[in-house]
């Protein structure tokens, strides 16, 4: 292997070791001396690595405490990786729901101000409601799963989306800020979202949030079917099934989570 290639690999290895050290260190971050002593690196080498990682957002430096912590870009990468993890964890739940209800079940996650469909399981009922493909995006609030995601965000985030995202919702009838605000309030009151033919008139859907420990939706499970199959008392049964699976998925995600670092302290 050429010397230049060796040097590149060594730099990547050292950068990875620095990131692991910061991730496993105290919440207030590490000093330069902590990195040099803990990893056996020279001061100049450690400083160069830390500055490079800070330049790309992987590390944040506090001028006040002179400590280094993980940066926002690392959390963005972690959120992206979480999507793949949640798909694997949720797949048995989707299969159970599709088998019990015979309808189409969806898993959605938040992607900026959109809901992203990341998985789908189709039941055996002969009339199928394939209103979303894996990879499809909709503005937050448009659709049952998307509404469940929006309704269980922070009040400030909900207010911003209702105020600013008119253009993204314009292609969907019935999703003005006032109308969507009413949908959000009903969803928060009942614990689930209901789309009663707002997108496709002959179809309806129910969505429930998958919550993190702070009560914020990190994903949503939803079931879509023809409207005749979404009336009470069956709709109540579907809500119960979805809620049970969402709660179990929430516990699985929480059990696999690590510590949360407040990177705003290092901005």
What pLDDT was estimated at residue 264? 33
What pLDDT was estimated at residue 253? 87
What pLDDT was estimated at residue 1? 42
- Given a cut of 70, whether residue 74 has pLDDT beyond it is yes
List beta partners, residue 117: 108
Q: Which two tokens mark 34?
A: 């902590």
Which of 8-17, 83-92, 125-134, 136-145 is predicted most confidently?
A: 136-145
Assign a CATH topology to domain 3-70.
Arc Repressor Mutant, subunit A (1.10.10)
What pLDDT was estimated at residue 79? 62
What pLDDT was estimated at residue 167? 84
Q: Write out pLDDT tens, residues 184-208.
A: 999 999 999 999 888 888 899 999 9
Q: Write out pLDDT tens, residues 109-124.
A: 988 889 989 899 999 9
Segment 71-94 mean pLDDT: 79
Q: What does 9-49 look like in DSSP terms, one character per residue?
A: HHHHHHHHHHHHHHHHS-TT-B-HHHHHHHHT--HHHHHHH
Mean pLDDT value across the chain: 87
Question: Where are the domains positioned within the chain?
Answer: 3-70, 75-255
What pLDDT was estimated at residue 261? 29
- Given a cut of 60, whether residue 263 has pLDDT beyond it is no
Q: Write out pLDDT tens, residues 217-256.
A: 999 999 999 999 999 999 999 999 999 999 999 999 888 6
Q: Write out pLDDT tens, residues 131-149.
A: 788 888 899 999 999 999 9
Measure Cα distances from 96 to 122, 173, 226 in Å: 11, 33, 20
SS3 state of residue 218 = strand
Q: What is the architecture of the domain spanning 75-255? A: 2-Layer Sandwich (3.30)
Helix axes 3-24, 43-55, angle to 10 degrees: 80
- Given a cut of 50, whether residue 94 has pLDDT beyond it is yes
What pLDDT was estimated at residue 97? 98
Helix axes 43-55, 32-39, angle to 10 degrees: 120
What pLDDT was estimated at residue 4? 63
């Amino acid at each position: 292997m050429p010397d230049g290639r060796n040097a590149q690999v060594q730099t990547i290895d050292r950068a990875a070791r620095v990131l692991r050290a910061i991730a496993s260190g105290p919440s207030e971050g590490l000093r330069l001396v902590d990195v040099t002593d803990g990893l056996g690196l020279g001061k100049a080498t450690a400083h160069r690595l830390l500055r490079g990682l800070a330049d790309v957002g992987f590390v944040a430096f506090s001028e006040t405490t002179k400590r280094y912590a993980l940066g926002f870009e690392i959390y963005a990468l972690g959120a992206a990786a979480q999507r793949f993890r949640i798909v694997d964890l949720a797949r048995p739940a989707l299969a159970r729901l599709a088998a019990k209800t015979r309808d189409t079940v969806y898993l959605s996650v938040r992607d900026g101000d959109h809901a992203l469909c990341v998985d789908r399981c189709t039941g055996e009922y002969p009339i199928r409601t394939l209103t979303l493909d894996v990879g499809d995006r909709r503005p937050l609030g448009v659709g049952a799963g998307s509404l469940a995601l929006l309704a269980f965000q922070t009040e400030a985030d909900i207010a911003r989306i209702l105020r600013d995202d008119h253009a993204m919702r314009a292609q969907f009838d019935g999703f003005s800020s006032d109308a969507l605000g009413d949908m959000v309030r009903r969803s928060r009151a009942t614990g689930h979202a209901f789309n009663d033919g707002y997108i496709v008139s002959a179809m309806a859907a129910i969505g429930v949030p998958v919550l993190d420990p702070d009560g914020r939706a990190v994903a949503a499970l939803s079931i879509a079917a023809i409207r005749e199959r979404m009336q009470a008392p069956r709709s109540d049964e579907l809500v119960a099934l979805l809620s049970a699976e969402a709660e179990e998925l929430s516990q699985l995600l929480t059990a696999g989570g690590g510590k949360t670092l407040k990177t705003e302290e290092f901005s």
